[in-house]
């Protein structure tokens, strides 16, 4: 799934999103068009230099929109459009990113109406990531209670998934639940490999390991 909108006072600080990149587990088949978006997302997220990512995600968002428009009943296409928009927002940052995350939320909610189990519950996980990373009212729609609800639903569908556990662990870290965060992040690191998603898996595991190191430092200081 990767969008990392982060809270910071009254500003919208969106770090590079790795989602809601980011993608979650993709055992289910996707169309060739969606597969191209998915694979390009991983390349941009984990191989493209940061100064070039915003423009790359903007271009990919157009491709993802075309894929979704071509198959409006394809939940996977909507999920990936939402992920790409979230990632673009993460690179864009500032108030200008807010319209992008709102569009991403709309795509993910539409995907849930079509098929809540699509891509092993990725819409739930990606929505959860948005809800805890976007500022709350009156600036944005962030809501920690909704984040917890969505992330847990994603885990119910895909309890061993790398992204489902990563984002739940990051949420618990944000909530300062250090022991819960450590458990979820370790589970993300230990998650089964996803065939064809090697680049995304390596990137996500590296992110989880970095967060886990931080969480363990907090646990050690208690």
pLDDT in tens, 146-199: 999 999 999 999 999 999 999 999 999 999 999 999 999 999 999 999 999 999
CATH of 4-160, one of 1.25.40, 1.10.287, 2.20.25, 1.20.58: 1.25.40
Question: What are the DSSP calls for the chain, one per residue?
Answer: ---EEEEETTEEEEEPP-STTS-----S---HHHHHHHHHHHHHHHHS-HHHHHHHHHHHHHHHHHHHHH-TT-HHHHHHHHHHHHHHHHHH-SGGGHHHHHHHHHHHHHHHHH-TTGGGGHHHHHHHHHHHHS--TTTS---HHHHHHHHHHHHHH-TT-HHHHHHHHHHHHHTT-HHHHHHHHHHHHTPPP-TT-HHHHHHHHHHHHHHHHHHHHHHHH-
Q: Model pTM greater than 0.85?
A: yes
pLDDT bucket at 29, cuts 50 / 70 / 90: confident
Write the pLDDT tens digit of every residue in 104-153. 999 999 999 999 999 999 999 999 999 999 999 999 999 999 999 999 99
When the pLDDT of each residue in the chain is averaged and rounded to a whole number, the result is 90
């Amino acid at each position: 799934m990767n969008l990392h909108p982060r809270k910071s006072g009254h500003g919208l600080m969106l770090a590079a999103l790795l989602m809601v990149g980011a993608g979650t587990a993709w055992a289910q088949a996707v169309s060739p068009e969606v597969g191209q978006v998915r694979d390009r997302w991983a390349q941009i997220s984990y191989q493209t230099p940061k100064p070039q990512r915003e423009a790359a995600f903007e271009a990919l968002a157009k491709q993802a929109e075309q894929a979704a428009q071509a198959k409006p009943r394809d939940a996977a296409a909507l999920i990936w459009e939402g992920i790409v928009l979230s990632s673009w927002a993460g690179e864009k940052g500032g108030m200008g990113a807010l319209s992008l995350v709102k569009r991403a939320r709309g795509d993910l909610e539409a995907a849930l109406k079509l098929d809540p189990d699509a891509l092993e519950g990725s819409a739930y996980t990606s929505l959860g990531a948005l809800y805890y990373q976007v500022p709350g009212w009156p600036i944005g729609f962030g809501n920690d209670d909704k984040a917890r609800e969505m992330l847990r639903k994603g885990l119910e569908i895909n309890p061993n998934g790398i992204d489902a556990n990563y984002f739940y662990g990051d949420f618990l870290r944000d909530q300062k639940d250090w022991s819960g965060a450590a458990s979820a992040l370790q589970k993300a690191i230990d998650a089964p490999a996803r065939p064809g998603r090697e680049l995304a898996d390596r990137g996500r595991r590296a992110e989880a390991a970095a967060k886990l190191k931080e969480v363990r430092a907090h646990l050690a200081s208690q």
